[in-house]
Structure 1
Amino acid sequence: MIGVLGSVNMDLVCEVSHLPREGETLCGLRFARYPGGKGANQAVAAARLGAQASFYGKVGDDLFGNELLQSLKENGVNVEAVERERDTPSGIASIWVTEKGENAIVYVPGANASVAPPYVDRMLHKLAAAKVLLLQLEIPLETIAHLLRGLPPKAPLVILDPAPAQDISSLPVERVDIITPNRGELSALTGEEDLKAAAHRLLALGAGQVICKADVEGAYLIGNDNFRHFPAFEVDPVDTTACGDAFNGALAVALAEGKEIEEAVRFANAAGALAATRRGAQPSLPTRQEVEALLASLG
């Protein structure tokens, strides 16, 4: 079973010809609304790949909250632990996406900001029972720290997506088995531009392994004694919003199934690539059949 503690948002997506510059008013090409949030996306990604996935978090007492819960249920995610926060809006993300698939995101947490240590205390026995636990940084950092300190020392396996990038020095990073920044987040977290040097900064904090999600370059797996590059799968991208979430969900599924880390990264790379070929966050997340077909086509 895969547990996900994190955010759930309504994504408000504007398709644009280019990302606007400071002070620029830009006429958008299209607008759409999709269920999203890094936590919810990763839960849906895991469920679509055949895993039993449970989501832990909060929605607001509003129409968006209703839609977000319904979307999770329709995708096979267990939402029994999700709580509604009264007199609080659900989280939203305003997303600009270009025709080339580039994006910029502004996130307003809403009810996600109310996912606090007391909530973790109520859910700790369930979270600790997961085989793999997926975390991100769209809920309060103190909540993530509280959870990591409360987990048993060896299980579950913890995968931390450090997005949005922020100072993680207050986190007990030694309880994180795998940390999965993208290139920009890796530099922001460490102050290092060199990939290897930046990754070793995170390893020095106690993380078990670093997987850097590097867009068209693919992914890099870095440990204290290993460095390996996994090339990206070639696709025609239309929207990269949920590629990282597809990657993390797939990584969790593969590791929960007992795959070796190298095979798990390749599986995750395929899922991330497929997510880039469709618009929207959760609507873009691939099925198990699609991922396995892509892997089989390349041998």
Structure 2
Amino acid sequence: MPTLPITVVVAPVSAVPDGDGDLVLAVYRPGGSWLKRRLEASRPEEVAQQLLVDDGPQLVKDLTEWQPRLEPVRFEVLHDELHLLYTVAVPLSAPLLDSEGRLQDISEYKDDWTRLGRADVAADPLAGLTREHWRRNLQETDAVLSLLPKYFTSPQARSIYESLWGKELDPGNFTKWMVQQNRMCEVVEDAELSIRGELDAFAATRLARGRGLAGVSLAKAVPQSMIGVSPFIIAAGVLGAPLGTAVGAAAAGLVAYQAKPQPGRRPAWYTARRDPSHGHVLKHVYVPRPVWRH
């Protein structure tokens, strides 16, 4: 009995900053094409790992601090061929730089990153499977933490859910579910000091690798009102592009990110209570509660 050829497909998923500074969930498909490769003699996961290294987002290839966790989604028969779909959460800095290390805005990276909203995936079965996988993960586990930097705000986490469910969610209920009911994260005391220190440590480590620039300080260049605001902007100003842009973009994905200073009270910053790479099952599953309109 003849067997169908098997193709391994990888769907890198990231929280992508949109034009308003919110985070939306998107899948990496450069030029509208999936990362895929015919399975020959290797194990499927090894092929998937190599695909991510060879053809994944440029910045992901350079992040030695980041450890990918590939998740199998399912088998799907398409065009008389068996497809084995994997997905992986990548840092939100991944969409910010192009292959030449230049900073991009959403109008530029939208050709490579497809939003996983309902209308965006209707015609593509692989995108639909990826979307449903992440909806289930976000409802039942703390997978949202793998999509966020070490320090994040409640609105940033909530906007990822809003992008998948396609509705504005009640802020109070969401924060209560995340912080109190499931204890996924905790408030960071002295957040400004912590973020400044980690930005400095991150930059020093990255820049010291053969560049002799370990003394450069990102944090000292950050005004108090700009804590957490896109470190790639600050780094580019301090170090110059493209070096500063690349360092800052990596910091934005792994340390802290904020598109612009927020009016009013300074935001509360949170950090995960557990290692987000393990995907812990939640005690209370997520049930979307939209904002009430009067």
- TM-score, structure 1 length as denominator? 0.29
Larger radius of gyration, structure 1 or 2?
2
Structure with greater contact order relative to length (CA < 8 Å, sep ≥ 6) = 2
Q: Which has the higher strand share?
A: 1
